Amino acid sequence: MMKQFIFAGFGGQGMLLIGKFLAMACMLDGKHVSWLPSYGPEMRGGTANCSVIVSDEPVGSPMVDKADAIVAMNLPSMDKFEPHVKPGGLLVVNSSLIERKAARTDIDVVYCDATHIAEAVGNPKGANVAILGAMMAKENVVSTEKMLEAIRIELGERKARFLEGNKLALFAGMEAVK
């Protein structure tokens, strides 16, 4: 098994963080992973994306050209990465910020109102984790338990106060696409 993912949005939307969450969760599950960030020098407000590869075998290259699933948090990211979803793959669109519909008909598309979902559970900065939950509901790559453990590890003690809000956002994102 090998799955390739791209998480893309503006700097500050937490795309690199949710990529780390996925990579850590899959490592905890005994998988081989790679996590490769890409961002402009301005970071916050500029574009930021990362690719994650999850495999039963060692990962030879961290580069992803055609992904099994892509999360697009803003319109420039959707415009750039929609062509990179494998036929039959998944595109998860943040419908809070992206009004246009996907142009392709050979992929599964999920529209997730990530900002509203995060606000509804009392975690207005958790749109990234809500959309991660939406992707997890459609792409069976790791268990919810492993993801929650990964979030706890990645947040660490210094940011442990954000764990409960992220847990609520993750579950709400998963529920929203069922």
Question: How far apart, in whole angstroms, are the C-alpha atoms of residue 170 and residue 42?
Answer: 28
Give the model's pLDDT for residue 42.
Answer: 53
What pLDDT digit, counting tens, does each position of 72-111 carry?
999 999 999 999 999 999 999 999 999 999 999 999 999 9
Give the model's pLDDT for residue 160.
Answer: 86
Question: How far apart, in whole angstroms, are the C-alpha atoms of residue 35 and residue 128?
Answer: 17
Domains and CATH numbers, the chain: 2-176 (3.40.920.10)
The pTM assigned to this predicted structure is 0.94
Q: Is the pLDDT of residue 39 over 80?
A: no
Instruction: Indicate the residue type of 146.
Output: K
Q: At what angle do helices 127-138 and 15-28 cross, to 10 degrees?
A: 50
Give the model's pLDDT for residue 141.
Answer: 96
Instruction: Indicate the residue type of 112.
Output: C
* Burial tier of 40 (Cβ tally within 10 Å: 0-12, 13-18, 19+): exposed
